[in-house]
Amino acid sequence: LEDALRQAQKMEAIGRFAAGVAHDFNNILTVIFGYGGIMRMSDTLQDDMREKLDRILEAAERAGSLASTLLTFSRKQPIRLERLDLNRTVAGVESFLRRVIGNGIDLQVAAHPGPLPVLADKGNLEQVLMNLAANARDAMPRGGTLSIGTSRLIIDDAFVRCHGFGVPGEYVELWVSDTGVGMDPATCRQIFEPFFTTKKSNGTGLGLSIVYGLVQQHKGHIRVESEPERGTSFHILLPLAEEGRSFEPAEASQDRLPRG
């Protein structure tokens, strides 16, 4: 519990900082995109210059996606809960995930056959999947398999006693597994910390802390299993929404700290 509190306070401070940086960053990018776009349309631009300009604009795109990562992280926008079917959300991003992981990695989806209603923010769920898939890709530089699956799960008192986590109730489960490099236990313990990365200059260390924060906001649970050289699995549990009831989208709390 103390860990969770410390993490929440850290996230809060970093979140405020990140929002400020992202805001200034976006203003700078607007200038680069604006003038870059005008230059690109010029008839007198030589081909080699056009190529260099395209490189500049590509880098600016990446900077833009980093800025949006920072904004999500700082959670300035309130989450929008709606009734969703988890399988549909997964299916909706499948082709995008395929592009994220590239050709060398096989993607397998094992969808639970029945309905999986959750109250969730669609964009947030997509971001969770994207961050986990991007990490899986990085963990499999020589190829492998990324498996994404869904199921339903009932957590009862016996489960909590046996596994040492969870709150009794009915849940929808999302798991994301890879056959990548895996992690040792010491790494596993730190992965949800903001800015923890083993990727040197290529990593921000924000991906999983964002995932953690989003899962908390949805009153869910996340847990990781990993073995060096074998692979890693993330399991996310989200409370099952009551079945057969229509739901009006509602604004959730803007508070990004985990509760309870």
Q: Which residues bind ligand ADP (CB under 6 A)?
A: 131, 135-136, 139, 178, 180-183, 187, 191, 196-199, 203-209, 232
CA–CA distance, 107 with 200 (Å, rounded to integer) = 27
Question: Given the complex with ligand ADP, which of 133 and 241 has the nearer CB atom?
Answer: 133
Residue 137: what are its φ and ψ, rounded to 5°? -60, -45
Alpha-carbon distance 55 to 60, whole Å?
Answer: 9
CB neighbour list of residue 4: distance below 8 Å, 6 or more residues apart? 258
Q: What's the closest the beta carbon of residue 211 comes to ligand ADP, in angstroms?
A: 7
Considering the complex, state which of residue 87 and residue 131 has its C-beta at the smaller distance from ligand ADP. 131
Residue 239 zone, left/alpha/beta (φ > 0; ψ -120 to 50; rest): beta
DSSP character string of 156-177: -HHHHHHHS---SEEEEEEEEE
| Residue carrying the six token digits 């992690």 | 183
Closer Cβ to ligand ADP, 133 or 237, answer by number: 133
- Comparing every residue's Cβ against ligand ADP, the nearest one is 207
CB nearer to ligand ADP: pick between 128 and 238: 128
CB of 235 to ligand ADP, least distance (A): 13
Distant-in-sequence, close-in-space partners of 153: CB < 8 Å, separation ≥ 6: 170, 171, 172, 173, 237
Secondary element (H or E) of residue 129:
helix 122-139
Minimum distance of ligand ADP from residue 81's CB (angstroms): 25
Minimum distance from residue 182 beta carbon to ligand ADP (Å): 6
Nearer to ligand ADP, 98 or 152 (CB): 98
- Give the CA count within 13 Å in the CB-facing half-sphere of 8: 13
CA distance 179 to 143: 9
The least distance separating ligand ADP from the CB of residue 230, rounded to whole angstroms, comes to 10
The residues, any chain, with a CB within 8 Å of residue 16's CB and separated by 6 or more, are 74
The least distance separating ligand ADP from the CB of residue 126, rounded to whole angstroms, comes to: 16
Given the complex with ligand ADP, which of 155 and 211 has the nearer CB atom?
211
Min separation Cβ 206 and ligand ADP, Å: 6
Q: Which CB atom, from 26 or from 187, has the smaller least distance to ligand ADP?
A: 187
